[in-house]
Amino acid sequence: MNGSIATRYARALFMEAQAQFVDNIVYDHLGMLYSSMKAAPDLQYALANPRVSMDVKYRLLVTASGINAGAWAKEGVAPVAQSYDHTLYTRFLQLVLEHHREQHLRMMILVYSDLYREHHKIDRVIFETAVPASAENIEKVKARVSAKTGREVECVTHVRPELIGGFRLRIGDVRYDYSYATRLEKIKQRLKTHP
């Protein structure tokens, strides 16, 4: 049931965002909100806490979405003049809170993101390295994957010191592991089987 609630909300938001030609901006705000939720577990706690008022939850969500506090498009409050009117996005957040669906928000974000990427033919690539990857290496990975798939590439990087060196790359469900840790483990396994 949770998945269908999240899917309905995400699809409705995506369709309306497309109609208003702001699906990319909503995507960016949702991405910022998702990152904020991962980085600050207290945000999830506050959203789940019935003692936290709806107004406080709303302000937390707007701020965590990267929207300037002066741009809050709450009823009776005009947003600050900018290149984008945040009304659709902030109304979506209000709707989620009014219907007590905040526990489904993370899934809504994931579904919206999938719809957006599929519509815009974007592949999401996870690039893991033992040390921070240079901008040049990230661009090389994006260019190679894009050349292979014929699609735009969105690259997410993670530093994983346990890799020792090399890298791991995940494109959709396919994973490539060129880490030193994996190579060493393979050598170790061969030594065990061949005395």
Considering the domain architecture, whether residues 63 and 104 belong to the same structural domain is answered as yes
Distance CA 43, CA 61 (A): 8
Considering the domain architecture, whether residues 86 and 144 belong to the same structural domain is answered as no
Considering the domain architecture, whether residues 97 and 12 belong to the same structural domain is answered as yes
Number of structural domains (the chain) is 2
Per mean pLDDT, which range of 19-28, 75-84, 135-144 is the poorest?
75-84
Could you report the per-residue pLDDT of 156-183, keeping only the tens digit for each? 999 999 999 999 999 988 999 999 999 9
Distance CA 73, CA 13 (A): 16
Considering the domain architecture, whether residues 164 and 187 belong to the same structural domain is answered as yes
Considering the domain architecture, whether residues 26 and 50 belong to the same structural domain is answered as yes
Considering the domain architecture, whether residues 48 and 85 belong to the same structural domain is answered as yes
Per-chain mean pLDDT for the chain:
88
β pairing state of 122-129 and 174-177:
unpaired
Taking phi over 0 as left and psi of -120 to 50 as alpha, with beta for the rest, 53 belongs to beta
Which CATH number goes with the domain that contains 83? Answer: 1.10.520
Question: How many helices and strands (H and E) does the chain possess?
Answer: 8, 4
Considering the domain architecture, whether residues 42 and 83 belong to the same structural domain is answered as yes
Burial class from Cβ neighbours inside 10 Å (0-12, 13-18, 19+) for residue 104 reads: buried
Residue-number span of the structural domain to which 171 is assigned:
122-193
Considering the domain architecture, whether residues 112 and 18 belong to the same structural domain is answered as yes
Percentage of residues in the chain having pLDDT higher than 70: 89
Which pLDDT band, with edges at 50, 70 and 90, does 1 fall under?
very low
Considering the domain architecture, whether residues 127 and 88 belong to the same structural domain is answered as no
Query: First vs last Cα of the chain: how many Å apart?
Result: 54
